[in-house]
Amino acid sequence: MSGIVAGALAAALAGVPPLAAQSGAPSPDRPGADGTGEVHLPDDARSTALADLAALDVCFASRASSPEADLQRLRTLYLLAVDDKPGLERAWGAHRKLVTSGWARTPGGRAVVDGYRGALIALEARHGFWPHARIRDLRQALDLLDGLVEASPTQEEVRYLRLVSTAFLPGILGRSGTVDTDLEILARRLPQVTGRYPLRTWTAMADTVEELLAARGVGAADEVRVGLRSARRTAAAAAIPLVPGCRVG
């Protein structure tokens, strides 16, 4: 990696984190950016995430957790870790627990679990101190996410994790092509999978994709935004909770 590229990457890592994979994810166009250009979680997003964790704790206080609950916990802790370096260890703990489940050994489950491993490594780069270690971590994260998307091109959540880990990297790193591709594919696939994700997770993905489409002017942006808006009504009607059998959101 050249010194110019390394310098650009170090500057990017010092400022803008990736979007998070939950409702209320920050972006430069949303409240939460301070005067330095650094992005922080809006207070309402943090409050919602903490409430979700508390609700999951209550729901599973007297019975064993499930892979669905462990995945939703990981999604939520990943969100919180975007803005909280100490929270990364909790997110890694949730990841380690999910890895041991039978679901994680299925092809689809393995892809998602590995996708969150890549996204968490990207957050290690975001929160790290030593520039060379941060560059190493980001390269490892992106290599992993690229390989997962190539192996599972129709897995929306994995592609979304790559998108939010790359959307604000400097252009000199050459990620604009994958960002645009991920946006176009997600914009067309998300309306087809409104029943696959909890409402909060699906809405967060749709919000992020729609905002980035508008900001970047990718492809047939107007057409796909209409499709996303129509799909919102379907998703809202289904109102899939955070965890099956435990209506906490």
Please give the angle made by the CA atoms of 31, 92 and 203, to the nearest 5 degrees.
40
For position 39, what pLDDT does the model report? Answer: 53
Domain count, the chain: 1
Identity of the highest mean pLDDT range in 82-86, 99-103, 219-223, 238-242: 99-103
The answer to whether residue 247 sits within a structural domain is: no
Predicted pLDDT of residue 157: 97
* Exposed / middle / buried, residue 104 (Cβ in 10 Å: 0-12, 13-18, 19+): buried
Q: Would residue 179 count as lying in a domain? A: yes
DSSP summary character for residue 246: B
In a domain, 248, yes or no: no
**HEC profile of 112-158:** HHHHHHHHHHHHHHHHCCCHHHHHHHHHHHHHHHHHHHHHCCCCHHH
Domain span at 48: 3-19+40-238
In-domain check, residue 93 = yes
Residue 133 within a domain: yes
Q: pLDDT tens for residues 121-155?
A: 999 999 998 889 999 999 999 999 999 999 999 99
243 φ/ψ angles, rounded to the nearest 5 degrees: -140, 130
- Asked if residue 186 is part of any domain, the answer here is yes
Phi, psi at 39, each rounded to 5°: -105, 135
Dihedrals phi, psi of 76, to nearest 5 degrees: -70, -40
- Taking 3-state DSSP, the helix, strand and coil percentages for the chain, each rounded to the nearest 5, stand at 70, 0, 30
Tell me the C-alpha distance between 248 and 245, whole Å.
9
pLDDT one-digit tens code per residue, 67-115: 999 999 999 999 999 888 899 999 999 999 999 999 999 988 999 999 9
249 lies in a domain?
Answer: no
CATH code of residue 221: 1.25.40
Please report whether residue 244 resides in a domain.
no
Please state whether the predicted TM-score (pTM) of the whole model is above 0.95: no
